[in-house]
Amino acid sequence: MDNNTQKAFLEQILNSNANAKNNTKSNKAKANTYGINTPLGTVIVIADIKHAYFLAFKDQENIENKIKMLIKKTNFTITVEKNSIISLIEEELNQYFKGKLTKFTTPIYMIGSNFQKQVWAALLKTSYGQTQSYLEIANSLNLPQHSRAVAKANASNLLSIIIPCHRIINNNNKLGGYSGGIERKKYLIETEKEIVAKNYL
């Protein structure tokens, strides 16, 4: 996606949200958004000068609703422009897709309920090249009866790839869903496993 197309897409989302248009005078919390090209398509990033708040594929399910929800909860005024955090994510994504980075260091800020944050923290402990089931995540939280709630929290992740929800699979070992698309999930899991295997040879 070229820069003009990125800007038009992002401004369309922002302009459809009343907060994004009307809170400039009353709100001093500012953030930036930008599209980053990857081998799997363009990802949209939202970050302020300290943290990343959002990363999702441009064609991901419900992306507009997720962005609007984020703006509502943070009351951000968002500008379509890179900042230092977005540039850092861009570099780390580049290294990740080359198989040279297995853990992101970009500072993140998780927007969600306490339970969602617990689940996302557990996802961050799922190692590169490994997968876990929703039940395994639930067990790690001492909540073995809540694998469905874990799956729902997994789907609500606002920081795809960085918080590796793609590494979480169904309890029957099938891939399960992924808001970025099942083919992307398959690619990410298989590529990570291949990189790990090569490093052990």
Q: How far apart are CA 5 and CA 25, in angstroms?
A: 28
In this prediction, residue 23 carries a pLDDT of 47
In this prediction, residue 24 carries a pLDDT of 46
In this prediction, residue 15 carries a pLDDT of 72
In this prediction, residue 200 carries a pLDDT of 66
94 and 135 within one domain: no
Q: How far apart are CA 131 and CA 57, in angstroms?
A: 21
126 and 73 within one domain: no
Q: How far apart are CA 87 and CA 49, in angstroms?
A: 11
86 and 7 within one domain: yes
In this prediction, residue 109 carries a pLDDT of 98
Number of Cβ atoms within 10 Å of the Cβ of 75 = 12
In a domain, 103, yes or no: no
Adjacent-strand bridge partners of 80: 33
For residue range 10-42, list pLDDT tens digits in order: 777 777 665 444 444 454 689 999 999 999 999
Q: Supply the CATH number for residue 139's domain.
A: 1.10.10.10
189 and 139 within one domain: yes
In this prediction, residue 3 carries a pLDDT of 64
Host domain of residue 88: 3-98
In a domain, 28, yes or no: yes
Q: How far apart are CA 71 and CA 76, in angstroms?
A: 5
CA dihedral (105, 111, 115, 118) in degrees, to 10, reads 10
In a domain, 30, yes or no: yes
- What is the edge-to-edge ordering of all strands in the sheet holding 52-57? 52-57, 41-47, 30-38, 77-80
Active-site amino acid positions: 165
For residue range 129-187, list pLDDT tens digits in order: 999 999 999 999 999 999 999 999 999 999 999 999 999 999 888 888 898 999 999 99
194 and 155 within one domain: yes
Q: How far apart are CA 88 and CA 92, in angstroms?
A: 6
132 and 76 within one domain: no
Mean pLDDT of 115-139: 96
89 and 12 within one domain: yes
Q: How far apart are CA 123 and CA 132, in angstroms?
A: 9
What are the tokens at 89? 């994510």
For residue range 174-196, list pLDDT tens digits in order: 888 898 999 999 999 999 999 99
80 and 140 within one domain: no
In this prediction, residue 10 carries a pLDDT of 72
124 and 82 within one domain: no
What are the tokens at 59? 């064609």
When divided into structural domains, the chain yields a total of: 2
124 and 83 within one domain: no
